[in-house]
Amino acid sequence: MNAVTAAPADPLPRLPASGAWREGDPPGRRRWHRLRRPLPLEAGGELPGVRLAFETWGRPAPDASNAVLVLHALTGDSHVAGPAGPGHPTPGWWDGLVGPGRALDTDRWFVVAPNVLGGCQGSTGPASPRPDGTRRWGGAFPFVTQRDQVAAERDLADALGIETWALVIGGSMGGMRALEWAVSYPERTGALLLLATTAAASAEQIAWASVQLHAIRSDPHWRGGDYHDTGSGPHAGLGLARRLAHVTYRSEAELRLRFGRAPQGTEHPWYGGRYQVESYLDHHAEKLIRRFDAASYVVLTEAMNAHDVGRDRGGVRAALRRVTAPTLVAGVDSDRLYPLSQQEELASGIPGADRLRVIESPYGHDGFLLETEQVGRLVRELLGPD
């Protein structure tokens, strides 16, 4: 595991200038927005020098009324569509949804996707330099919540001249932020699509996440989060966290049918070899270590644990009643991490929500990423014909 090269930290001196959309910009080109003032944080204090990386596809209407906000999940990023390439370690994670003629038809819609605050793909996070440029944030990066992340995204919307999103869409952690958008800024959320998400992180979700946090923090290379300039990092801990998380992202039936008890190639599990499913988890761990920063994983996981749309709003039911957007809520039938009961709570509590939709998939929680045809149908239903 230690032979794997970790995700490169954000280089210290390089801070690209802000850039709004310009005529002729190629789709999926990453740009940055720097917040005009320090971001006040829900947990107290403020975060100075915040920037958000974002990508866009399509062309904004003169009044930007065709803007759609796509919010990524825990280890996703702003690269929703398009191939892997410089600055993009992976191909677009919803490539089948965004483009000419697709559900988010870029001949019609202006699609905007920011990398979340606290992330590691261009937005300010623990691997970023502090505003004085002397050191990285590391373990001193403050506790941020979904509401803080959404407040930063609101600043981006302001800078892009987007008064109201035609649609805010997200799954899992992205769904938490989409919900926060609709509750915090109902007048700016024209329609809402929530996938495989929840009104508040449950005890079991916090429990799975806490084991992952322990795995990272008990790695000797963690160093309280101040490892970015040491030449090493908590790669083993992050890999362990990903293995555990990935099991929760898939279904028991999928793992059984796909891998069963088969050994990996010629390896023999009794004599130091691995089962196929172990090798599969190793592969996902190694892939994540190459592209993701462990401290961001910690910051974002803690933000998900803190997610409770009802906090300081009189509880979940009262908070959901604030949503004015026409809404669709969908869950995945085989999702054991975000069970359908959580989406049922959202669908029944949001005044403008239609009945709960169920995505049929053998892939568990990851179904919201993989079943793009079914997600596309929900998008088309919500956005309506041209």
Binding residues for substrate: 242, 366
Q: What does residue 373 show for φ and ψ, rounded to 5 degrees?
A: -65, -45
By C-beta, is 304 or 353 nearer to ligand ACO? 304
Q: Respond yes or no: is residue 172 known to be catalytic.
A: yes
By C-beta, is 75 or 128 nearer to ligand ACO? 75
Residues 154-183 that bind ligand HSE (CB under 6 A): 172-173
Q: Respond yes or no: is residue 335 known to be catalytic.
A: yes
Dihedral of CA atoms 147, 18, 194, 150 in degrees, nearest 10, equals 10
Q: Respond yes or no: is residue 386 known to be catalytic.
A: no
Residue 71, classed as helix, strand or coil, is strand
Residue nearest to ligand HSE (CB): 172
Q: Which residues are annotated as a binding site?
A: 242, 366
Q: Please state, in angstroms and rounded to a whole number, the distance separating the CA atoms of residues 99 and 106.
A: 5
Give the nearest distance from C-beta 55 to ligand ACO in angstroms.
13
Long-range pairs for 151-154 at CB < 8 Å and ≥24 separation?
Answer: 151/39, 151/40, 151/184, 152/35, 152/39, 152/50, 152/52, 152/114, 152/117, 153/52, 153/69, 153/71, 153/114, 153/117, 153/177, 153/181, 154/184, 154/185, 154/188
Q: Where on the phi/psi map is residue 314: left (φ > 0), alpha (ψ -120 to 50), or beta?
A: left
Give the nearest distance from C-beta 119 to ligand HSE in angstroms.
11
> Contacting ligand ACO (CB under 6 A), which of 123, 146, 197, 276?
276
Tokens representing residue 311 in the block: 């906090």
Give the nearest distance from C-beta 73 to ligand ACO in angstroms.
5
Verify binding: residue 283, ligand ACO, rule CB under 6 A: yes
Verify binding: residue 73, ligand HSE, rule CB under 6 A: yes
Of 56-64, 72-80, 226-234, 270-278, the window that binds ligand HSE (rule: CB under 6 A) is: 72-80
Tokens representing residue 357 in the block: 């939709």
Tokens representing residue 298 in the block: 């910690």
Give the nearest distance from C-beta 384 to ligand HSE in angstroms.
28
> Contacting ligand ACO (CB under 6 A), which of 369, 378, 379, 382?
369
Q: Please state, in angstroms and rounded to a whole number, the distance separating the CA atoms of residues 337 and 200.
A: 13
Verify binding: residue 249, ligand HSE, rule CB under 6 A: yes
Residue of 220, 4, 7, 211 lying closest to 126 (CA atoms)? 7
Residues 359-378 that bind ligand HSE (CB under 6 A): 365-366
Residues that bind ligand HSE (CB under 6 A): 73-76, 172-173, 249, 365-366
Residues that bind ligand ACO (CB under 6 A): 72-73, 75-76, 90-91, 93, 249, 264, 276, 279-280, 283, 287, 366, 369-370
